[in-house]
C-alpha cells in the first residue's frame, strides 16, 4: 500500500512540469517513470480529481496539449487497454471547450488510414444526400408537380440509356434521378455492373474496367450503393458480410445495394476458382511425372536462413532513418503548432519518399537482372511489374504495420515487382529450381532471400477436398 502515494506523486510531478510548460523536463520524467504510472487512476491536482491524460487537457490544471500529444504518441498508455481513460479525457476537453486538446485527442482517435477513408466516405454520402433532398424541394416549389414528373421521367429514361451504353455520367444528375425513381435507376445500374463483372471478359477490356473504376469503385458520390434494400427475412439471413470492423458487425444484418454487387463478385470469384481447380487437378493427374512435379512444388522449401524481420533499416545497404523516434519527439515538443505531427510526416512522407526515389533508380537494373535469370527457362513469360505508388505504400504501412516500430515505412520491401509465368507445372518446377540454384551461386552470394510464400499447400488442400466430394 505504501507505493500508491508514490505513484500518485509521479503523476503530480508530471503535471507540474506540464503546467510550467517545461516539455523537455516532462518528456524525460515520463521516460524514466512511465512504468510506475497507473493510467486509469485518478489523483488530485490543483483541487481537481482526474487521470493524468485528463489533467493534461484540462485548462484548470496541467493544461498542456503538447505533453498530452507526447504521451499518446509514445505508446506508453496503450489505447486498446485504456480506451475508457482516453474517452474520459476527451469528455473533459469537450466540457472545458479546450479546442487544441479536442483536436489532439480526435487526431489520435482517427489516425488509422482505413478508418479515415470510411469516415470520409460516410461524410460525402451525407452531404450529397442532403444537397439532393434540397434540390428536390426547390424543384417541387418552383414547378407544377405534373411538369416535374414529366421532366424527371424523361431525364430518368435518358440516364438509364446512358448507363446501359456505358456513357460518361454526371454523379449529381444520376443522384437526382435515383432519388426520383430509386427502383428503375438502381436496377439499371446494378444490371450494368453485373453485366460488366464477368471474369472471362473484364480482364482484357480496358474501357469496361475504367467505367467501373470511375462510377463504382472510386466514386463516393453515388447514393444508391448505401441504400438499404428491404428484402425478405430469408434474404437477410443468407447475407454473410465479412468485415474486420467491430462497429460494422453490429449493422451487417442490414442489406444495402452494395451487398448485391458484392455477391455478384463473390460468385464470379468462386466460379473462376472452381474452373482453375478443375484445370489444375486435370493437369496434375494427367501423368505420374506431373504428379511428381506437383509434389516437388508443394514440398518446396528454401533451405537458407530467411530474415526474421524484414525491414529496410535492418541491413547496411537499406534505407536508414536520419532521426530516431525520440529525436523527432524532442523536436516536436518544442513546436508551437500542437497539431503538427513530425513523426508522422517524417515516416510517411520523407522516409517513404526516400525509399521510393531509390526504387525508381534501381528499377531498370532490377528488371534486367530478373529477366536475365529467367531467360534460360523454357516457356517462361517474364513481365516487369509497376513500382508501387506512394499511396499504396503509405496505406500498407499504416494498416498492416501500424503496430510496428518507427519508421513503419521500413517494413515496405516489395516496392519493385515482376512476374514470371510458366505454361505448366513441369516448367514451373524447372524455373524454380533454376532460380534457387542461381541465387545460391557465387555470382549472387551477396544477395539473400528476405521472404518466401509457397501457396502450393493451399492448392493441395483444395484438391484433396474436391476428391473427397
Nearest of 427, 340, 425 to residue 377 by alpha carbon: 427
Dihedral Cα 171, 174, 179, 183, nearest 10 deg: -130
SS3 state of residue 43: strand
Beta bridge partners of 49: 44
pLDDT bucket at 460, cuts 50 / 70 / 90: very low
Question: 0.75 exceeded by the pTM?
Answer: no
Who wins on pLDDT, 137 or 265? 265
pLDDT surpassing 50 at residue 440: yes
The pairs formed by 26-29 with CB atoms below 8 angstroms and a separation of 24 or more are 26/64, 26/67, 26/70, 26/333, 27/67, 27/70, 27/329, 27/330, 27/333
**Rounded Cα–Cα distance for residues 337 and 327 (Å):** 17
What does the pLDDT read at residue 465?
A: 31
pLDDT surpassing 70 at residue 142: no
pLDDT surpassing 80 at residue 153: yes
pLDDT surpassing 60 at residue 343: yes
SS3 state of residue 418: strand
Q: What is the mean pLDDT of residues 48-69?
A: 90
What does the pLDDT read at residue 177?
A: 84
pLDDT tens digit sequence for 2-57 = 444 478 888 999 999 998 888 888 888 988 888 888 898 899 998 889 999 999 99
**Rounded Cα–Cα distance for residues 329 and 397 (Å):** 20
The answer to which of 289-293, 369-373, 378-382 has the lowest mean pLDDT is 289-293
Whether 27 and 17 have beta carbons less than 8 Å apart is answered as: no
Give alpha helix (H) positions in 110-245: 113-142, 145-164, 171-180, 182-196, 199-202, 206-212, 233-238
Whether 221 and 122 have beta carbons less than 8 Å apart is answered as: no
Q: What is the mean pLDDT of residues 402-422?
A: 89
SS3 state of residue 255: coil
- Residue 15 neighbours by CB under 8 Å, 6+ apart: 45, 46, 52, 55, 56, 61, 62
Whether 394 and 352 have beta carbons less than 8 Å apart is answered as: yes
Whether 387 and 359 have beta carbons less than 8 Å apart is answered as: yes
The three state secondary structure string of 367-414 is HHHHHHHHCCCCCCEEEECCCCCHHHHHHHHHHCCCCCCCCHHHHCCC
Whether 58 and 50 have beta carbons less than 8 Å apart is answered as: yes
What does the pLDDT read at residue 241?
A: 43
**Rounded Cα–Cα distance for residues 23 and 329 (Å):** 10
Q: What is the mean pLDDT of residues 78-98?
A: 86
Nearest of 156, 151, 181, 182 to residue 169 by alpha carbon: 156
What does the pLDDT read at residue 469?
A: 27
Please state the φ and ψ torsions of residue 45, each to the nearest 5 degrees.
-145, 125
- Residue 305 neighbours by CB under 8 Å, 6+ apart: none
Q: What is the mean pLDDT of residues 409-437?
A: 87
Amino acid at each position: 500500500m505504501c507505493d500508491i502515494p508514490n505513484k500518485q506523486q509521479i503523476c503530480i510531478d508530471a503535471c507540474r512540469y506540464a503546467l510550467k510548460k517545461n516539455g523537455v523536463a516532462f518528456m524525460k520524467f515520463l521516460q524514466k517513470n512511465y512504468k510506475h504510472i497507473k493510467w486509469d487512476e485518478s489523483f488530485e491536482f490543483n483541487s481537481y480529481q482526474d487521470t493524468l491524460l485528463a489533467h493534461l487537457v484540462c485548462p484548470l490544471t496541467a493544461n498542456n496539449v503538447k505533453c498530452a500529444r507526447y504521451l499518446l504518441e509514445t505508446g506508453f498508455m496503450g489505447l486498446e487497454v485504456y480506451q475508457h481513460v482516453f474517452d474520459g479525457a476527451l469528455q473533459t476537453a469537450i466540457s472545458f471547450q479546450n479546442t487544441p486538446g479536442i483536436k489532439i485527442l480526435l487526431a489520435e482517435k482517427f489516425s488509422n488510414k482505413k478508418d479515415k477513408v470510411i469516415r470520409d466516405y460516410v461524410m460525402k454520402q451525407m452531404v450529397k444526400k442532403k444537397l439532393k433532398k434540397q434540390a428536390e424541394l426547390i424543384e417541387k416549389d418552383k414547378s407544377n408537380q405534373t411538369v416535374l414528373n414529366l421532366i424527371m421521367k424523361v431525364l430518368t429514361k435518358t440516364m438509364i440509356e446512358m448507363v446501359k451504353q456505358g456513357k460518361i455520367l454526371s454523379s449529381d444528375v444520376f443522384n437526382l434521378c435515383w432519388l426520383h425513381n430509386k427502383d428503375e435507376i438502381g436496377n439499371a445500374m446494378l444490371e450494368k455492373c453485373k453485366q460488366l463483372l464477368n471474369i472471362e471478359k473484364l480482364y482484357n477490356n480496358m474501357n469496361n474496367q475504367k467505367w467501373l473504376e470511375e462510377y463504382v469503385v472510386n466514386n463516393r458520390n453515388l447514393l444508391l450503393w448505401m441504400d438499404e434494400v428491404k428484402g425478405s427475412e430469408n434474404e437477410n439471413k443468407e447475407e454473410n458480410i465479412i468485415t474486420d470492423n467491430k462497429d460494422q458487425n453490429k449493422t451487417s444484418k442490414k442489406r444495402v445495394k452494395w451487398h448485391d454487387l458484392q455477391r455478384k463478385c463473390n460468385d464470379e470469384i468462386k466460379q473462376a476458382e472452381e474452373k482453375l481447380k478443375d484445370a489444375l487437378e486435370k493437369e496434375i493427374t494427367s501423368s505420374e511425372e506431373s504428379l511428381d512435379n506437383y509434389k516437388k512444388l508443394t514440398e518446396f522449401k528454401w533451405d537458407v536462413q530467411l530474415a526474421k524481420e524484414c525491414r529496410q533499416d535492418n541491413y547496411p545497404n537499406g534505407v536508414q532513418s536520419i532521426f530516431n523516434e525520440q529525436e523527432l519527439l524532442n523536436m516536436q515538443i518544442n513546436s508551437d503548432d500542437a497539431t503538427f505531427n513530425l513523426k508522422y510526416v517524417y515516416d510517411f512522407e520523407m522516409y517513404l519518399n526516400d525509399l521510393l526515389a531509390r526504387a525508381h533508380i534501381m528499377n531498370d537494373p532490377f528488371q534486367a537482372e530478373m529477366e536475365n535469370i529467367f531467360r534460360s527457362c523454357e516457356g517462361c513469360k517474364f513481365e516487369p511489374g509497376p513500382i508501387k505508388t506512394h499511396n499504396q505504400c503509405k496505406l500498407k504501412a499504416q494498416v498492416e504495420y501500424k503496430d510496428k516500430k518507427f519508421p513503419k515505412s521500413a517494413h515496405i520491401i516489395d516496392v519493385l515487382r515482376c512476374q514470371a509465368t510458366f505454361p505448366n507445372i513441369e516448367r514451373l518446377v524447372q524455373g524454380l529450381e533454376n532460380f534457387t540454384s542461381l541465387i545460391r551461386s557465387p555470382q549472387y552470394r551477396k544477395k539473400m532471400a528476405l521472404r518466401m510464400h509457397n501457396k502450393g499447400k493451399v492448392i493441395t488442400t483444395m484438391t484433396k477436398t474436391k476428391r473427397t466430394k
